Structure 1
Amino acid sequence: MPESPDPTVFPLDHLALRGARSAPALVLRDRTLSHEELNARVSALAKWLKSQVGEAGARVATWLPKTELACLMPLAAVRAGLVHVPINPLLKRAQVTHILGDSGAALLIANKARLDTLEPGDAACAVFEEPKVWAEVEEQGGELPPSSAAPESLAAILYTSGSTGRPKGVMLSQANLWLGAVSVAHYLKITPDDRVLAVLPLAFDYGQNQLFSTWYASGSVVPLDYLTPRDVVKAVAKHGVTTIAAVPPLWLQLAELDWPEDAAASLKRMTNSGGALTLSLVRALRTKFPAADLYPMYGLTEAFRSTFLDPALVDEHPTSMGKAIPFAEVLVVNDLGAEAAAEEEGELVHTGPLVAQGYWQDAERTAERFKPAPAFSKLGGMAVWSGDRVKRDAAGLLHFVGRRDAMIKTSGNRVSPQEVEEAAVATGLVAEAVALGLPDPQLGQAIHLVARAMPDAVKDELIPALTRALPNFMVPRHVHWRDAMPVSPNGKLDRVALAAELAEGNVR
């Protein structure tokens, strides 16, 4: 590969044009699409989208597992001059209704089971089941040519949880997504011979990048909605998978399984994001897959990806986040606003062309997170101030210290404590609640809910009620009931005191 990646930006849908015409691009359950067929299907779907939604820049949402349409929609929407809003298939009615309303989606494509969970008025837009879409695409016929979208034009809105309130939409441009694909394909050294197993949700930034970076490198994607970790092992063996991107809880499960020798040997690279790898897990993966390169990484949706650790350094620095990826400048800013010295703790600040355009229709929260880069930045411009505390060692490698805000990171998902608390109160069983994340060897953090019950509430009904209202990863693993909640001097529920009690095991 070249010493530095090509910074030239093309519209995102041009990814469908890069591979050899007859080479495999997308391995579906019932068939395989070549790169030529991928482009044709993207073009046909784009034409149908444009016939349904004529307004340029309108938002179109998908709420799907990893079907053909879910994989093609990011490129087809761009080719039709629209903005894609992928919705995590694990989300439930309340979260989906919020995303549809907040984004102003003009169209939603989902499957029947998910649509049946919505109530009248939840989706103020056109709604289609996926089979009907494909039937109309075939009936309509024809294709749209590749787009000529400007690099700064909006391509997608990805919804991510914040430490307070409901999910907010991160606005990503053609340049953000294209250069993210180029960067990852470059440092992972993906080739046309690679088969990438797409296990991460396509509504995640790195979930989408599994598609984009592989197609940029003319490789092949194998989408997988798995029920158990053993399904992943079977898929690797069946398809000769060379690359897996996963989060720590899944890596832990995969490391514990017995792998067929051929399947383990086919893996060339393992990439991790969504939480730090522990020393014991790094050693387990290196033992289980000695021939595969392990890439620990750090990222945030607001800038996609910030750092990766060179696999050659993993054994010596197993807990490091590494250094900046191509096209990123990653700074450590101390509490005085200056560049932190070696081993001095500071806030991770990311600047460069991967920085998103802010939050959709939310100027206040955009101003809190997106600010001018510090004066000592080389790239300058707008930066994402992550809120994460890190240190840079004498060798220039970054190390995670902790989060400044209350965000809970569980199973690779970012969870807003406020959203869990609001759901608990909404059940009618809880008067007050505080959600906190505690370290967990499998989840990264487990959600603990400290709550005061409503009079005559049946406490055992809380978890079933939350399971109906929230995706599984947001449901608390532990509930601690209190007759009274501690209050801080400013009159608010004392999260700090509760977190300390939880950590010491003193909350009943």
Structure 2
Amino acid sequence: MAKLSETISLDEIIVDLPRRIHDAPARQVAKAPDRIALVEDGAFWTYGELNQRVTETATVLSSLGIRPGDRMIIVSENCIALAALLLAASKLDAWAIVANPRLSARELDQIRGHSGARRMLFTSGISKEAAAHAARYGAERRQVGPLAEIGVGPLNESAAVEPVVADPAKQVAVLIYTSGTTGTPKGVMLSHDNLLISARTTAHFRKMTEGDKIYLVLPISHIVGISLLIMTLMVGGTVRMVSKYDPAATAKAIAEEGVTILNGVPATYQRLLEYKSISGAQQFARGKLRLIAVAGAPLDLNLKSRVEQEFGLPLLNGYGITECSPGIAGVRFDAPRADQAVGTLLPGVEARVRTIDGIPTTRGEVGELHVRGRNVMLGYYRAPELTAKVIDSEGWFNTGDLARFDGDCLYIVGRTKEMIIRSGFNVYPAEIEAVLSSHKDVVQSAVVGRAADGNEEVVAFVQLLPGSCTTRDDLMEFVRFQLTSYKRPSEIIVLDALPATSTGKILKHKLAESLAGEAALAPATYLT
């Protein structure tokens, strides 16, 4: 079992922890109500205004039939109105479900049906996708307290309330739907305690203060976006809301708006560098930027090096999962690394590595990562059998990720379900992807397995820079001396773009389905 790596204890970090996520800004409300809390294009709210307007919003939501224990879906891009609705739901002890407007009608219908939501709300003024969903559900556009142009969906009279408890460790704050590798959505129940502990711990090790301004481009419909919002409000910083990622706008905000922290997935930084190349800029102005962090997908060392050279800052890798609120491990602000490690465990998080059959591994050996702590979810909503499959009787959660420890430093090797067994050898896609993505013309890559005569083949999908003349022979030659024979791809497929979520995470199950002829992808060139 991996030891906790910090001398400071979790109890020391979470002293005076709020009991509900809407209480996260309370200290700053009392201390400096005129300080700016939230900013979006052309608008801002101070901490005092945030406090007052969340209360007003909660009052109107209550008049709209939202009760303690109800589920409430908010279909919205990142914006001030979304933050107000999320915190107002907490104030009512309702469960907030933040849904990305770019979900399909089918996906949104699945979430509504499974959750038994009381109402759906849409910030239709900020997004054409949200407006289209609002129209399809027959939502009425109206004022909700201080919030204008909110689509209010019909009341679900049959919605049943869930029990409400005072204990923040047992009361659900948000329900996040995640499909994982299966494509079937699961509702992750995260308590107020889950979210507040994870946010406070991460903020502590990033040395966040009220002087920080975070550029929130990762969607609040995902766990990282929610956590970043909560941690910034807890320390009294400023959240710069970003509805859709635009690398040109991001570069401008960093240079001119006093942004101090940028979080992203690898694709966030890849697109920034592409923009720089296309625009002909010499070098990005760093402004007040002091910390850049990445998570959500394997980090290519070539990309890491280029980003660090560009900004003159270490790119801090981290690891988390929705079911863990999300923080599990991270590279420390004061101890940057040059490799692909995801750092050391956060205080309060225990970890162990097991074989697929549940047998303890030897130190340094690859196996499934199990974690335990107050950051672990309450379970999957209305799916006790699924919960029992991933959380055992002692509270250990099986992440489904393959990992190893080197001392107290954690390395993520890949997903259990993505591991390819070729001629009896375990092949980890992340290793092959790292090699492919280090090629100067490869934007990103993804590797999946394909059944072949009782064996598995390695198939690589790559996205090349626009106008690239790279050939199959170039790529095969590039990997030949970097990978042993059983790890080399049998086939390379070039796509205009790899299918991905709104956060940039590649949808590997879509790629695997395409090999079986079950899904259509973007126009492709096949290099075999």
TM-score range, shorter chain: 0.7 to 0.9
* Selected match of 2:289 from 267, 271, 275: 267
* Selected match of 1:403 from 411, 415, 425: 415
Kindly indicate whether residue 363 of structure 2 is the aligned counterpart of residue 363 of structure 1.
no
Conservation of the 8 A alpha-carbon contact between 1:92 and 1:471: no
Conservation of the 8 A alpha-carbon contact between 2:218 and 2:503: no
Q: Tell me how far apart the structure 2 counterparts of residues 47 and 238 of structure 1 sit (CA, whole Å).
A: 37
Per the alignment, residue 278 of structure 1 pairs with 300
The 3 A distance-change label for structure 1 pair 471 and 5 is closer
Superposition map of 1:105-144 within 5 A: 105-110=117-122, 111=124, 113-114=128-129, 117-118=132-133, 123=137, 127-129=139-141, 132-134=143-145
Q: After TM superposition, give the deviation of residue 149 of structure 1 in Å.
A: 4.2
- SS class of match (1:297): strand
Superposition map of 1:65-76 within 5 A: 65-76=77-88
Q: Which moved more, 1:182-191 or 1:68-77?
A: 68-77
Superposition map of 1:100-499 within 5 A: 100-110=112-122, 111=124, 113-114=128-129, 117-118=132-133, 123=137, 127-129=139-141, 132-134=143-145, 149-151=166-168, 152-258=170-276, 263-290=285-312, 292-303=313-324, 304-316=326-338, 318-335=339-356, 337-372=358-393, 381-393=394-406, 395-406=407-418, 438=460, 440=462
Q: After TM superposition, give the deviation of residue 348 of structure 1 in Å.
A: 0.8
Q: Tell me how far apart the structure 2 counterparts of residues 475 and 390 of structure 1 sit (CA, whole Å).
A: 19
> Over aligned residues, Cα RMSD in angstroms?
3.9
Q: After TM superposition, give the deviation of residue 58 of structure 1 in Å.
A: 0.1
- Give deviations 1:96-155, integer Å, cap 9, x for gaps: 1111111111111111744664599x75xx8454x53246889xxxxxxxx994212111
Q: Tell me how far apart the structure 1 counterparts of residues 193 and 416 of structure 2 sit (CA, whole Å).
A: 29
Per the alignment, residue 143 of structure 1 pairs with none
The 3 A distance-change label for structure 1 pair 315 and 442 is farther
The one-letter amino acid of 2:20's match is: P
The one-letter amino acid of 2:196's match is: W
Q: After TM superposition, give the deviation of residue 314 of structure 1 in Å.
A: 3.5
Q: Tell me how far apart the structure 2 counterparts of residues 437 and 88 of structure 1 sit (CA, whole Å).
A: 31
The 3 A distance-change label for structure 1 pair 307 and 314 is same
- Give deviations 1:135-194, integer Å, cap 9, x for gaps: 6889xxxxxxxx994212111100111322421110011101111111111111111000
Give the structure-1-normalised TM-score. 0.74
Q: After TM superposition, give the deviation of residue 226 of structure 1 in Å.
A: 3.3
- SS class of match (2:34): coil
Q: Tell me how far apart the structure 1 counterparts of residues 228 and 503 of structure 2 sit (CA, whole Å).
A: 23
Superposition map of 1:54-65 within 5 A: 54-65=66-77
The 3 A distance-change label for structure 1 pair 240 and 116 is closer
Q: After TM superposition, give the deviation of residue 16 of structure 1 in Å.
A: 2.5
How many residues are treated as equivalent by the alignment?
A: 423
Q: After TM superposition, give the deviation of residue 251 of structure 1 in Å.
A: 1.1
The one-letter amino acid of 1:41's match is: R
Q: After TM superposition, give the deviation of residue 282 of structure 1 in Å.
A: 1.4
* Selected match of 2:45 from 30, 33, 45: 33
- Give deviations 1:24-44, integer Å, cap 9, x for gaps: 111122222111111111111
- Give deviations 1:386-414, integer Å, cap 9, x for gaps: 11111111x3211111211259999xxxx
Q: After TM superposition, give the deviation of residue 237 of structure 1 in Å.
A: 2.3
The one-letter amino acid of 1:340's match is: T
Q: Tell me how far apart the structure 2 counterparts of residues 302 and 474 of structure 1 sit (CA, whole Å).
A: 18
Conservation of the 8 A alpha-carbon contact between 2:173 and 2:191: yes
Q: Tell me how far apart the structure 2 counterparts of residues 75 and 68 of structure 1 sit (CA, whole Å).
A: 11
Conservation of the 8 A alpha-carbon contact between 2:217 and 2:264: yes
Q: After TM superposition, give the deviation of residue 319 of structure 1 in Å.
A: 0.5
- SS class of match (2:189): strand
Q: Tell me how far apart the structure 2 counterparts of residues 403 and 338 of structure 1 sit (CA, whole Å).
A: 18
The 3 A distance-change label for structure 1 pair 94 and 437 is farther
Q: Tell me how far apart the structure 1 counterparts of residues 370 and 212 of structure 2 sit (CA, whole Å).
A: 33
Q: After TM superposition, give the deviation of residue 89 of structure 1 in Å.
A: 2.2
Q: After TM superposition, give the deviation of residue 47 of structure 1 in Å.
A: 1.1
- SS class of match (1:321): coil
Q: Tell me how far apart the structure 1 counterparts of residues 414 and 99 of structure 2 sit (CA, whole Å).
A: 28
Per the alignment, residue 45 of structure 1 pairs with 57
The 3 A distance-change label for structure 1 pair 253 and 135 is closer
Q: After TM superposition, give the deviation of residue 81 of structure 1 in Å.
A: 1.9
Q: Tell me how far apart the structure 2 counterparts of residues 229 and 31 of structure 1 sit (CA, whole Å).
A: 21
- SS class of match (2:250): helix
Conservation of the 8 A alpha-carbon contact between 2:259 and 2:287: no
Conservation of the 8 A alpha-carbon contact between 1:265 and 1:289: no
The 3 A distance-change label for structure 1 pair 252 and 30 is same
Conservation of the 8 A alpha-carbon contact between 2:283 and 2:310: no
Q: Tell me how far apart the structure 2 counterparts of residues 18 and 148 of structure 1 sit (CA, whole Å).
A: 24
Per the alignment, residue 472 of structure 2 pairs with none
Q: Tell me how far apart the structure 1 counterparts of residues 293 and 21 of structure 2 sit (CA, whole Å).
A: 23
Q: Tell me how far apart the structure 2 counterparts of residues 97 and 118 of structure 1 sit (CA, whole Å).
A: 10
Per the alignment, residue 12 of structure 1 pairs with 21
Unaligned runs of 5+ in 2: 1-6, 150-163, 420-428, 434-445, 449-457, 466-494, 519-523
Q: After TM superposition, give the deviation of residue 313 of structure 1 in Å.
A: 4.3
Unaligned runs of 5+ in 1: 139-146, 373-380, 418-435, 444-462, 487-492, 494-501
Q: After TM superposition, give the deviation of residue 49 of structure 1 in Å.
A: 1.2
Q: Tell me how far apart the structure 1 counterparts of residues 269 and 306 of structure 2 sit (CA, whole Å).
A: 9
Q: Tell me how far apart the structure 1 counterparts of residues 219 and 133 of structure 2 sit (CA, whole Å).
A: 21
Q: Tell me how far apart the structure 2 counterparts of residues 475 and 348 of structure 1 sit (CA, whole Å).
A: 20
The 3 A distance-change label for structure 1 pair 344 and 149 is same
- SS class of match (2:41): coil
The one-letter amino acid of 2:310's match is: K
Conservation of the 8 A alpha-carbon contact between 1:334 and 1:344: no
Q: Tell me how far apart the structure 2 counterparts of residues 119 and 40 of structure 1 sit (CA, whole Å).
A: 27
